[in-house]
């Protein structure tokens, strides 16, 4: 009787040991699964973060060695040029004082006047993002000195292909600017700008602006110039900058004297 009880006890212990062994194995398998899942998620996060810049770089390569007119869409994606009487030449306001601009984006108006490449901004940087863009009041001073500004909205900013075209346009004008002919910068028109000043016309996501004095400096000759496009077009920009060179501005300094 005692022998049978000892055997039963031994059998129970074996069952308990088997259960514990199974539990440990299950916990190990679960731990391995958790590690694998965490690694997979981490790789996906890293891959997603790296994908956009890599994709953008690849897309920019298609424009390597291309002329301005060969970058982006054809000129047919752009609407006719619009001009309006301009004002604001030499109308300087203190740095930090906001200016309410009537048109989206501005092509003329009051502006800041700060040295050291603040307002107007230096030509050393040709392409800006939402996090690096100077204030509108500084950029309008560049317009007064003959710059053409390409503005791109958030539709372009979120489209790697169109953004690659904008970056390539800026890079091409930069590398070929040997005598200040290409006083040009590309900047975003943000959601905050849309809220405060307005959006581009329907289905238009790019705008070129210029401030022209039409060969003279008197106020009655000055105009703001706009051309809107549904997507970036180097061909349209090429024509725009030839029709409205920096030399026809109210104060045609151009980019060469601004760093």
Among the candidates 61, 81, 108, a domain finishes at 61
Burial of 9 (0-12, 13-18, 19+ CB in 10 A): exposed
- The list of the chain residues with pLDDT below 50 reads 1, 48-50
φ, ψ for residue 210 (rounded to 5)?
A: -155, 150
Among the candidates 61, 87, 109, a domain finishes at 61
CA distances from 79 to 188, 226, 236 (A): 19, 10, 10
pLDDT reported for residue 50? 45
pLDDT reported for residue 157? 97
Whether residues 42 and 119 fall in one domain: no
Q: Residue 210's domain spans which residues? A: 70-248
pLDDT reported for residue 217? 58
Rounded distance between C-alpha atoms, residue 163 and residue 206, angstroms: 11
Whether residues 77 and 192 fall in one domain: yes
pLDDT reported for residue 216? 59
Rounded distance between C-alpha atoms, residue 35 and residue 86, angstroms: 64
Structural domains in the chain (count): 2
Q: Is 256 a member of any domain?
A: no
Q: Is 254 a member of any domain?
A: no
């Amino acid at each position: 009787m005692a022998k049978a009880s000892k055997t039963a006890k031994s059998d129970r212990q074996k069952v308990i040991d088997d259960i514990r062994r199974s539990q440990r194995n299950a916990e190990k398998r679960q731990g391995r699964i958790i590690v694998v899942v965490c690694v997979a998620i981490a790789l996906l996060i890293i891959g997603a973060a790296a994908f956009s810049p890599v994709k953008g770089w690849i897309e920019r390569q298609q424009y390597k060695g291309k002329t301005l007119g060969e970058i982006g869409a054809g000129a047919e994606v752009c609407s006719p040029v619009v001009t309006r009487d301009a004002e604001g030449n030499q109308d300087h306001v203190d740095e930090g004082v906001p200016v309410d601009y009537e048109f989206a984006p501005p092509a003329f108006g009051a502006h800041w006047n700060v040295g050291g490449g603040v307002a107007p901004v230096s030509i050393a940087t040709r392409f800006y993002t939402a996090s690096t863009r100077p204030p509108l009041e500084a950029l309008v001073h560049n317009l007064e000195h003959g710059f053409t500004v390409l503005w791109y909205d958030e539709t372009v900013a979120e489209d790697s292909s169109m953004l690659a075209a904008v970056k390539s346009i800026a890079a091409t004008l930069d590398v070929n600017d040997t005598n200040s002919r290409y006083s040009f910068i590309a900047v975003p028109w943000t959601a905050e700008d849309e809220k405060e000043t307005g959006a581009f016309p329907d289905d238009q996501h790019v705008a070129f602006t210029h401030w022209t004095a039409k060969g003279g400096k008197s106020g009655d000759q000055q105009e703001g110039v706009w051309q809107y496009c549904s997507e970036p077009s180097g061909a349209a920009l090429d024509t725009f900058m030839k029709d409205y060179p920096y030399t026809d501005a109210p104060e045609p300094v151009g980019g060469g004297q601004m760093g």
